[in-house]
Structure 1
């Protein structure tokens, strides 16, 4: 929503276009400065940050809705996207008074008031999706009701609106389990990368340390990455080889147990 007219139309007529009780919350993972990060937003007159999200259109598939919402936030398409959980048990999702008050603070910028029986005040279930994006490729799109965006380290997540901290926790657990099943790293790293970069990525995601020599041997033995002839010059005496993911291996599920140890 780019202006107050869009907001007013959404508040008054959104229930005609969207399913009133079903939303999508997106945990957008990026990797930068050897740290896994999550994109957060802060809405107008809200103290706490939130996850990007939105409602599902009445004739829209869930995954199509998630891709649309992510495009609106990042301007990226063809993202790695994974549905991981449905959220509806938190008491905050049953407290329509608190939901109504929060909405009134946000939508006050457009001079719109949300009543107790308004469709936005009702209980909403949320489908959680996580996305893996190239941090450098993300273009943040300004929105009328959003006052700020921030990439936050996964180890420094502040208290968030509603049950969004729980959503992030669930997404991270899923990501950590799936890193042993598929080549998660190829969605977070550039096309060509150094060994220390992929080594740091896996350590950041799994929050544990790996012996660098064994890590390299494991990746090469699996055929997951290929050492290129190219080098990256990063200093007078430092020109490490570049690596790339092997698509024949990286685009298929790993065999059971293939990635359990480094």
Structure 2
């Protein structure tokens, strides 16, 4: 068992010795699949509850390093693109009933001062991953870790719905400014693939010619080859993202 993972046997002293008190990380992990924007969620079957993947910052860790560790544990991927986008600190988000249900479902007897029942300020990160490469992996308290269509999310605990909406709003702002959308695509893609991604994230439609002209004028794409589908003269070109 890795020492940085929280086990159900750990007590308040263990947590305070290893982690920063009162600070948590919640991660909105986006993927793109079948022209749908997907979000990775944990499910707690015995409580019928859904939540964002999250964790805590170890005392020897930088915040971004902790986020990368948490994301690797949930997706199996390293060097994930992530952005810290907001800090959630409202008193109203402190709801102990959810964690009490989970702990009881796991056969634990939560004490009044158990660290999971404390109030936490949560640092929000959004992450962009290649859906085809991610391997969703549950944590020690959840029963399942699965992708969900952003437009068909189940009811979420605490303020996690608000966290997702804030992450989506930030992602939309970053699309053109930071060109982050390419992190959701495979290494090579067509202009049509990229347009579908933009339309899905922004929930709007673009004229094909206008979108193609806009993207190609940015000078950020490198042509790779024609996509081998159908007649050669009709096959769309494949591109890759290039900052050179």
**Aligned-residue offset at 1:48:** 2.4
Unaligned runs of at least 5 residues, structure 1 = 249-262
**Aligned-residue offset at 1:247:** 2.4
Query: In structure 2, how many angstroms separate the alpha carbons of the residues matched to 1:33 and 1:184?
Result: 19
* Residue of structure 2 equivalent to 1:70: 71
* Residue of structure 1 equivalent to 2:101: 105
CA shift in 2, pair 1:141/1:149, >3 Å: closer
- 8 Å Cα contact 1:38/1:152 also seen in 2: yes
- 8 Å Cα contact 1:44/1:109 also seen in 2: no
Match of residue 195, structure 2, among 199, 203, 211? 199
Worse overlay, 129-138 or 45-54: 45-54
2:23 corresponds to 1:22: yes
Task: Tell me how large the CA RMSD over aligned residues is.
Answer: 2.1
2:138 corresponds to 1:137: no
- 8 Å Cα contact 1:8/1:110 also seen in 2: no
* Residue of structure 1 equivalent to 2:38: 37
2:75 corresponds to 1:87: no
**Structure-1-length-normalised TM-score:** 0.84
* Residue of structure 1 equivalent to 2:53: 52
Unaligned runs of at least 5 residues, structure 2 = none
Query: In structure 1, how many angstroms separate the alpha carbons of the residues matched to 2:11 and 2:242?
Result: 45
**Structure-2-length-normalised TM-score:** 0.90
CA shift in 2, pair 1:150/1:90, >3 Å: farther
Query: In structure 1, how many angstroms separate the alpha carbons of the residues matched to 2:139 and 2:24?
Result: 18
CA shift in 2, pair 1:149/1:141, >3 Å: closer
CA shift in 2, pair 1:142/1:117, >3 Å: closer
Worse overlay, 36-45 or 66-75: 36-45
Secondary structure of residue in 2 paired with 1:226: strand
**Aligned-residue offset at 1:158:** 2.4
**Aligned-residue offset at 1:224:** 2.1
Query: In structure 2, how many angstroms separate the alpha carbons of the residues matched to 1:146 and 1:48?
Result: 9
